[in-house]
Amino acid sequence: MTDSFRACVIVASTRAATGVYADRSGPILAESLAQLGFTVSPVIVVPDGDPVGAALREAVGEHDVVLTSGGTGITPTDVTPQQTAPLLDYQVPQIPAEIARFGVQKGVPTALLSRGLAGVAGRALVINLPGSSGGVRDAMEVLAPILPHAVSQLRGGDH
């Protein structure tokens, strides 16, 4: 792997952003990305809603991979997919489908309730992940084998 691959983690959590509790998913993702050889920017923790979109818009121009954590469920305040969709040039729907399938296979049927998106914005791969520490660990098991290859392709590499 090369450290020229850059990644950003954005956590969508109003409670973590306001100090009600410490976020646990962001550090897990940052460590996992670093183990894959990515240079990881400091984790960004923002409240749910418009701040997620603002953080995404800033991150996509500077990073090869942007992972979000949180805001992908079906509650009224879960709006990360709505903040993500307008930024995507195109979606890569098999990524969230496989993350959900993997979760269900591991005995977490509620993984099917995630509305997370994955797609390309410019030359960045953006993927919405669940907000739980278990959910992001499972997602990284799915993503670890494909992220370096995806970045290589987005940079013009061959299949």
Contact 88, 123 (CB under 8 A): no
Domain 6-155 bears CATH identifier 3.40.980.10 = yes
Residue 6 parent element (H or E): strand 6-12
What is the Cα–Cα distance from 27 to 98, expressed in whole angstroms? 23
pLDDT in tens, 100-127: 999 999 999 999 999 999 999 999 999 9
User: pTM score, two decimals?
Assistant: 0.96
Summarize the confidence of residues 119-147 as an average pLDDT: 97
| Annotated domain spans of the chain | 6-155
Contact 45, 16 (CB under 8 A): yes
